[in-house]
Amino acid sequence: MSHYTANLRDIEFCLFDLLGREKVLGTSVYADIDRDTASGMLEEMKRLCENDLAASFIEGDRMGTVFNKATGDVTVPASFKKSYESYVNGEWWRLDAPVELGGMKIPASIRWAIAEMVLGSNPAIHIYASGYAFAQVAYVLGTAEQKQMAKLMVDKHWGATMQLTEPDAGSDVGAGRSKAVQQADGTWHVTGTKRFITSGDADLYENIMHFVLARREGGGPGTKGLSLFLIPKFMFDKETGVLGKRNGVYVTNVEHKMGLNVSSTCEMNLGEHEPAVGYLLGEVHEGIAQMFKVIEFARMMVGTKAIATLSAGYQQALSYSKVRVQGGDMKVMNDKASPRVTIIHHPDVRRSLMVQKSYSEGMRALVLYTASIQDEIELAEAAGDADRLADMIARNDLMLPVVKGYGSEKSWTLLGTESLQTFGGSGFTQDWPLEQYVRDAKIDTLYEGTTAIQGLDFFFRKIVKDGGRAIGLLGKEIQKFAESGGSHSEEKAALFTALGNLNGIIAVLIAHAVESQEDPEKIYLVGLNTSRCLMAVGDIITAWLLIRQADIALEKLPNAGKDTDFYSGKIASAKFFVTNFLPHIAADRVIVEATNGSIMNIPESAF
Element (H or E) spanning 413, and its range? helix 407-414
The mean pLDDT value of the chain amounts to 96
Residues 6 or more apart whose Cβ sits within 8 Å of residue 318: 344, 353, 356, 357
Mean pLDDT within 175-202 = 96
**Which of 255, 285, 315 is the last residue in one of the domains?**
285
Helix (H), strand (E), coil (C) string for 82-145: HHHHHHHHCCHHHHCCCHHHCCCCCCHHHHHHHHHHHHHHCHHHHHHCCHHHHHHHHHHHCCHH
| pLDDT for residue 305 | 98
Mean pLDDT within 30-41 = 96
Residues 85 and 128 in one domain: yes
Helix (H), strand (E), coil (C) string for 344-382: HHCHHHHHHHHHHHHHHHHHHHHHHHHHHHHHHHHHHHH
| pLDDT for residue 171 | 84
Residues 6 or more apart whose Cβ sits within 8 Å of residue 463: 398, 470, 471, 506, 510
CA nearest neighbour of 260 among 302, 295, 300: 302
Does residue 251 belong to any structural domain of this protein?
yes
| pLDDT for residue 360 | 98
Is the overall model pTM greater than 0.85, yes or no?
A: yes
Q: Are 316 and 277 in contact (CB under 8 A)?
A: no
Does residue 113 belong to any structural domain of this protein?
yes
Does residue 45 belong to any structural domain of this protein?
yes
Q: Is the pLDDT higher at 269 or at 173?
A: 269
Q: 508: domain range? A: 467-601
- Please write down the long-range contacts of 577-581, taking CB distance under 8 Å and 24 or more positions apart: 577/358, 577/359, 577/362, 577/542, 577/543, 577/546, 578/491, 578/494, 578/495, 578/543, 578/546, 578/547, 579/494, 580/355, 581/539, 581/543
Buried b (16+ CB within 10 A) or exposed e, 271-291: beeebbbbbbbbeebbbbebb
pLDDT at 493 over 90: yes
* β partners of residue 342: 325
- Using pLDDT thresholds of 50, 70 and 90, give the confidence band for residue 385: very high
Q: What percent of the chain has pLDDT over 90?
A: 95
CATH number at residue 74: 1.10.540
Residues 533 and 577 in one domain: yes
Residues 6 or more apart whose Cβ sits within 8 Å of residue 167: 193, 195
pLDDT in tens, 275-327: 999 999 999 999 999 999 999 999 999 999 999 999 999 999 999 999 999 99
Q: Which of 361, 409, 448, 491 is catalytic?
A: 448
> Considering Cα of 294, then 305, then 361, then 475, what sign does the dihedral take?
negative
Q: Are 275 and 265 in contact (CB under 8 A)?
A: no
Could you tell me how many residues make up the chain?
607
pLDDT in tens, 40-62: 999 999 999 999 999 999 999 99
Mean pLDDT within 448-460 = 96
Residues 6 or more apart whose Cβ sits within 8 Å of residue 150: 98, 101, 135, 136, 138, 139, 142
**Which of 99, 134, 169 is the last residue in one of the domains?**
134
pLDDT at 22 over 80: yes
| pLDDT for residue 332 | 85
Report the chain's terminal Cα–Cα distance, integer Å: 49
Residues 130 and 161 in one domain: no
pLDDT at 251 over 80: yes
Domain count, the chain: 3
The 3-state DSSP composition of the chain as helix, strand, coil percent (nearest 5) reads 65, 10, 25
Q: Are 288 and 211 in contact (CB under 8 A)?
A: no
**Burial zone of 476 (CB within 10 Å; 0-12 exposed, 13-18 middle, 19+ buried):** exposed
Residues 164 and 201 in one domain: yes
Residues 475 and 574 in one domain: yes
Does residue 233 belong to any structural domain of this protein?
yes
Does residue 323 belong to any structural domain of this protein?
no
pLDDT at 393 over 90: yes
Residues 6 or more apart whose Cβ sits within 8 Å of residue 24: 30, 107, 375, 379
Count CB neighbours of 529 within 10 A: 22
How many CA atoms lie less than 13 Å away from 23 in the CB half-sphere? Answer: 8
pLDDT at 465 over 90: yes
**Which of 251, 269, 285 is the last residue in one of the domains?**
285
User: ∠ CA 386-388-391 to the nearest 5 degrees?
Assistant: 110
Residues 35 and 71 in one domain: yes
CA nearest neighbour of 395 among 573, 506, 541: 541
Residues 501 and 542 in one domain: yes
Bridge-based pairing of strands 188-198 and 265-270 is antiparallel
Mean pLDDT within 133-151 = 97
| pLDDT for residue 230 | 98
Phi and psi angles of residue 328, each rounded to the nearest 5 degrees, phi first: -100, 170
Residues 174 and 94 in one domain: no
Residues 230 and 273 in one domain: yes
- Using pLDDT thresholds of 50, 70 and 90, give the confidence band for residue 246: very high
Give Cα separations from 338 to 268, 330, 343 (angstroms): 63, 10, 15
Buried b (16+ CB within 10 A) or exposed e, 314-333: bbbbbebbeebeeebeeeee
Does residue 257 belong to any structural domain of this protein?
yes
Does residue 192 belong to any structural domain of this protein?
yes
Give CA–CA dist 402/323, Å, rounded: 36
* β partners of residue 19: none
Does residue 342 belong to any structural domain of this protein?
no
Catalytic, 267? Answer no
Give Cα separations from 208 to 126, 234, 280, 501, 505 (angstroms): 16, 8, 16, 49, 46
* β partners of residue 468: none
CATH number at residue 261: 2.40.110.20
Residues 47 and 94 in one domain: yes
pLDDT at 366 over 90: yes
| pLDDT for residue 58 | 97
Residues 119 and 175 in one domain: no
pLDDT at 334 over 80: no
Residues 118 and 172 in one domain: no
Give CA–CA dist 391/396, Å, rounded: 9
* β partners of residue 67: 74
- Using pLDDT thresholds of 50, 70 and 90, give the confidence band for residue 137: very high
Bridge-based pairing of strands 179-182 and 276-280 is unpaired
| pLDDT for residue 338 | 85
| pLDDT for residue 262 | 98
